[in-house]
Copies of this chain bind each other. A is one copy, B any other.
Amino acid sequence: MSKMKDVAELAGVSIKTVSRVLNNEPHVQERMRDRVRDAVKKLNYVPSNSARSLRGNRSYTINLICNSHRGNYVNTIQFGAVMGCQARGYQLSITLIESEDRQKILETLENRLTSHAKPDGVLLVAPLASDFGVDKLLREHKIPIARVGSSPIVDGDGVGVEIDDMAAAREMTEYLLSLGHQRIAFVRGKEGHIATQQRFQGYEAALASKNIKVDPDLVYKGEFDFKSGLVAGEKFLSLSNPPTAAFAANDDMAAGILMAAKQKGIKVPEELSVAGFDDSEIAEKIWPALTTVHQPLLKLGEGAISKLISVLGRTDTEEQHPTILAHELIVRQSTSKIKGNL
């Protein structure tokens, strides 16, 4: 494993010059630059990350922090993030925050950050992205933050990449309305997630624009998981006046509704239209394939890393607006025009 000194000797310059070339610093003649680059190539030299980190107090590591809920959402964002890091010479390390216990979450995190192995930046995946305590802790440690998935309620600093959840939910609801549905049920996500609120607001807004009141019987507080979708579906379908369409705040819950319909012998989409949100892996593997909102998760992850790394060196804390990426309505087989019983 060669070091800078070797390169310097081979190129016949000082190690500092090598350093300058490697870091694209000015004040080096072109001739020298080439000589150094040749030597680097010849020796297959790669700088020592640990020495760099030690001296420069940076780790060339981005830490992705997410809670321990597995699934397509985090997984895909993470893949995007890894790709973004790899393309820029950074590493992505992953921290899992298991507990629902806030105290423990913060301790885990603090531990992580106090270490001199602290990351140069942190990527917060929803719902952690809008967690106030986490935010504060990171600010104390002066670690740049990027958020994926939802803006914080408080005006935290840090960059963000997200989609317009409210608009997307509104569009989906409007689509269902356009199919003739009037009684549209909604399954909310986990309370506390910003997306939960925003998607519900989109649903409300669409109904309001058609002067339809939200029927409390048609709104269920889910948990973003399959089980709660199942329960919601069972509840909706045993109403005396059941809905003709159901829109769940994510695909897992929509799959649950589908399951409930199957178990009750209700045909989808003939008797019940079902829509999801996320366009996750399962959306097109279930029957009928799910009408849903596509989120560009890979791009969210990669975009967040890109923005994060680009602000790393800077100190100008100019206000950053989150980047809004486009979503897309994906119509598959789980929705259809309402059967006229007129």
Q: Which residues of A contact B (CB under 8 A)?
A: 1, 44, 46-51, 53-54, 59-61, 68, 70-72, 75-76, 78-79, 82-83, 86, 91-96, 111, 114-117, 226, 252, 255-256, 258-259, 262, 281-282, 284-287
How distant is the Cα of A259 from the Cα of B54 in the complex, in angstroms? 55
Of the candidates B68, B262, B285, which one forms a contact with A282 in the assembled complex, judged by CB atoms under 8 Å apart? B285
Cβ contact within 8 Å between A287 and B286: yes
Beyond contacts A46-B116, A86-B95: 4 other A-B pairs, Cβ-Cβ < 8 A, are A61-B91, A71-B75, A93-B94, A287-B287
Select from chain B the residue with minimum beta-carbon distance to A96.
B82
**Would you give the shortest CB distance from A122 to chain B, in whole angstroms?**
14
Is there an interface contact between A50 and B53, defined as CB atoms closer than 8 Å?
A: yes
Contact check: which of B72, B78, B114 meets A44 at CB < 8 Å?
A: B114
- Contact present for B287 and A61 (CB under 8 Å): no
Compute how far the CA of A76 lies from the CA of B1 in the bound complex, rounded to whole angstroms: 35
20 residue pairs A–B, Cβ–Cβ below 8 Å:
A1-B116, A44-B114, A48-B54, A48-B115, A48-B116, A49-B53, A50-B50, A50-B54, A51-B116, A68-B79, A70-B72, A71-B75, A72-B281, A79-B96, A83-B96, A86-B95, A91-B117, A256-B285, A259-B287, A262-B287
The residues of B that contact A287 with a CB separation of less than 8 Å are 258-259, 262, 286-287
Query: What separation, in Å, do the CA atoms of A226 and B281 have in the docked complex?
Result: 10
Chain B residues in 8 Å Cβ range of A93:
61, 91-94
A149 → chain B closest CB, angstroms? 17
Cα–Cα, bound, A282→B70 (Å): 13
The 7 nearest A-B residue pairs measured at CB? A49-B117, A48-B116, A50-B53, A50-B54, A75-B75, A46-B115, A91-B93
CA–CA, A61 to B78, complex, Å?
18
Enumerate chain B residues within 8 angstroms of A53, measured Cβ to Cβ: 49-50, 53-54
Residues in B whose Cβ lies below 8 Å from that of A255: 285-286
A20 CB to closest chain B CB (Å) equals 19
Give chain B residues whose Cβ lies under 8 Å from the Cβ of A70: 72, 75-76, 79, 281
Residues of B with C-beta under 8 A to A286: 255, 282, 285-287
- In the complex, what residue of chain B is closest to A230 when comparing beta carbons? B285
Contacts of A61 in B (CB 8 A): 91, 93
Q: Are A259 and B282 in contact (CB under 8 A)?
A: no
Contact of A115 among B49, B68, B259, B284 (CB under 8 A): B49
Which among A76, A262, A287 has the highest number of chain B CB atoms within 10 Å? A287
Cross-chain contact B117 with A48 (CB below 8 angstroms) = yes
**Bound: A60/B111 CA distance, A:** 16
> A68: which B residues are within 8 A, CB to CB?
79
* Cβ-closest chain B residue relative to A59: B50
Tell me how far the C-beta of A313 lies from the nearest C-beta in chain B, rounded to whole angstroms: 18
Closest B residue to A289 using CB positions: B259
